[in-house]
Amino acid sequence: MTAFELKQDKIPVTLITDTMVGYVMQNRMVSRVIVGADRVLATGHVFNKIGTLAVAILANHFHIPFYAATPHSSFDLKARPDEVAIEERDPREVAFVGDHRIAPEGVQILNPAFDMTEPKLITGIITDLGVIEQPLGENIVRIFGRGR
């Protein structure tokens, strides 16, 4: 969907699968990374779709700027990182394609929907109020205050 929208807006786009991320970063085919954020804490911890943490680690390893983009309404200034529950999705999403089982019977399945990216891996957070740069925690508190 994102590739479609970028193409419609005449923004150059190359579609890859998630397992190609390391390859394209290693080969300097990426100049910066921008991901969404479902929730951002006052500490700068970002919660987003599963896989975001792995992309952030790779970007950090290859010295590629990593940004999260989200509206200011996604900031949770009260919760601590250890208080955020990660949604566990239905194992059938992994075990089946349509009605066809692809995972062996009896295999345990882990299917978290989100992961948490630590602020030290994030270059900045792009919001409708502007870009919040490092140090994220200090700058989030400066912009939003202590809690809402």
What are the catalytic residues? 38
A 10 A CB-CB count for 64 gives 18
Per DSSP, the three-state class of 50 is coil
The length of the chain is 148
Structure tokens at 70: 């989200």
Cα–Cα distance list, 41 to 49, 76, 123, 137, 140 (Å): 15, 5, 15, 8, 9
| HSE toward the beta carbon, residue 18, CA cutoff 13 A | 9
